[in-house]
């Protein structure tokens, strides 16, 4: 299979990495090691792309997290914090230079994905760094998202006992909302972090663990305030 990638002037051929070449070949887009299928240039021996990197769209328009400007793909990017999930990364990003708005490829291409299954009854949720296990709570549990007590199934972190979120919130909480009080940009669901710690613009609390954030305007709103009442953009899983 042959493609013409926008970043290179020669055609690229799909091939497998030979076992002897593992860790010896790096992707020219993200600078990470190539371990599986790659696109390689026959004429330039040092140009290779992961199959996944090569197949990323060169530009995304009307993204639900940033609908007003196109987001072109940037290769070999320096370290950045994704405005979609807050995680730090490098190598590849989608960038709006006018707004200094950054998205990782995962958030850019899969904005509706909240979690992935990593085992029986376990998920890896974008809001938390550790896997979450589904448990049947005996006591009323305060959910970090809706801040309501309710005896039901919840996702809990073995490493962080205080991190608990109702199953319905983990699976259905919208990743982006268009709030009537901030019509300029969508507010994106994030876990709070010390680098960007603003009080909720509605109730002025600052102890909430989760937040809806506009990184460009430095506005935060806790989920309890953000979702009542408002018309929001529902993104399904």
Question: Domain for residue 235, yes or no?
Answer: no
Question: Domain for residue 237, yes or no?
Answer: no
Listed residues 33, 54, 75: the one ending a domain: 54
pLDDT surpassing 60 at residue 19: yes
Cα distances (Å, whole numbers) of residue 141 to 10, 130, 163, 196, 226: 58, 19, 10, 28, 21
Give me the residue label for tokens 């995304």: 60
pLDDT tens, residue by residue, 122-181: 999 999 989 999 988 666 778 888 888 876 788 999 899 888 898 888 988 899 999 988
Please indicate, yes or no, whether residues 194 and 149 belong to a single structural domain of this protein.
no
Of 233 and 193, more confident: 193
Please indicate, yes or no, whether residues 122 and 167 belong to a single structural domain of this protein.
yes
- Above pLDDT 90, what percent of the chain? 53
Domain tally for the chain? Answer: 4
- Let me know: does 212 contact 187? Beta carbons within 8 Å: yes
pLDDT surpassing 60 at residue 234: no
pLDDT tens, residue by residue, 34-59: 888 999 998 998 899 999 999 999 99
- Let me know: does 235 contact 174? Beta carbons within 8 Å: yes
124: left (phi over 0), alpha (psi -120 to 50) or beta: beta
pLDDT surpassing 60 at residue 235: no
Question: Domain for residue 217, yes or no?
Answer: yes
For position 138, what pLDDT does the model report? 61
Question: Domain for residue 231, yes or no?
Answer: no
Q: Tell me which residue range forms the domain holding 14.
A: 2-54
pLDDT surpassing 60 at residue 191: yes
Listed residues 54, 69, 84: the one ending a domain: 54
Question: Domain for residue 144, yes or no?
Answer: yes
Please indicate, yes or no, whether residues 187 and 200 belong to a single structural domain of this protein.
yes
For position 97, what pLDDT does the model report? 94
Least-confidence region, from 67-81, 102-116, 146-160, 205-219: 146-160
Please indicate, yes or no, whether residues 126 and 164 belong to a single structural domain of this protein.
yes
Please indicate, yes or no, whether residues 96 and 133 belong to a single structural domain of this protein.
no
Average pLDDT, the chain: 88
Report the distance separating Cα 201 and Cα 198, nearest Å: 8
Q: What is the CATH number of the domain that holds 76?
A: 3.30.60
Alpha helices in the chain (DSSP H): 51-54, 105-109, 167-172, 223-226
Question: Domain for residue 234, yes or no?
Answer: no
Please indicate, yes or no, whether residues 50 and 35 belong to a single structural domain of this protein.
yes
Listed residues 127, 142, 172: the one ending a domain: 172
- Let me know: does 73 contact 94? Beta carbons within 8 Å: yes
- Above pLDDT 70, what percent of the chain? 92
Question: Domain for residue 236, yes or no?
Answer: no
Question: Domain for residue 38, yes or no?
Answer: yes
């Amino acid at each position: 299979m042959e493609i013409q990638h926008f970043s290179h002037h020669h055609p690229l051929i799909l091939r497998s990495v030979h076992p002897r070449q593992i860790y010896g070949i790096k992707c020219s887009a993200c600078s990470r090691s190539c371990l599986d299928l790659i696109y390689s240039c026959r004429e330039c021996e040092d140009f290779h792309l992961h199959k996944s990197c090569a197949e990323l769209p060169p530009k995304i328009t009307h993204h639900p997290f940033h609908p007003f400007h196109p987001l072109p793909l940037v290769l070999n990017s320096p370290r950045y914090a994704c405005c979609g999930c807050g995680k730090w990364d490098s190598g590849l990003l989608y960038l709006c230079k006018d707004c200094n708005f950054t998205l990782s490829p995962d958030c850019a291409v899969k904005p509706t994905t909240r979690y992935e299954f990593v085992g029986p009854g376990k998920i890896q949720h974008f809001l938390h760094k550790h896997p979450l296990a589904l448990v049947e709570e005996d006591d009323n549990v305060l959910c970090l998202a809706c801040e309501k007590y309710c005896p039901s199934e919840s996702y809990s972190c073995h490493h962080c006992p205080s991190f608990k979120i109702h199953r319905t919130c983990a699976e259905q909480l919208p990743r982006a909302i268009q709030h009537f009080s901030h019509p300029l940009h969508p507010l994106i669901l994030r876990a709070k972090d010390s680098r960007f710690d603003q009080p909720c613009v509605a109730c002025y609390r600052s102890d909430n663990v989760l937040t809806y954030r506009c990184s460009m305007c430095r506005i935060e709103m806790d989920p309890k305030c953000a979702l009542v009442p408002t018309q929001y953009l529902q993104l399904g899983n």
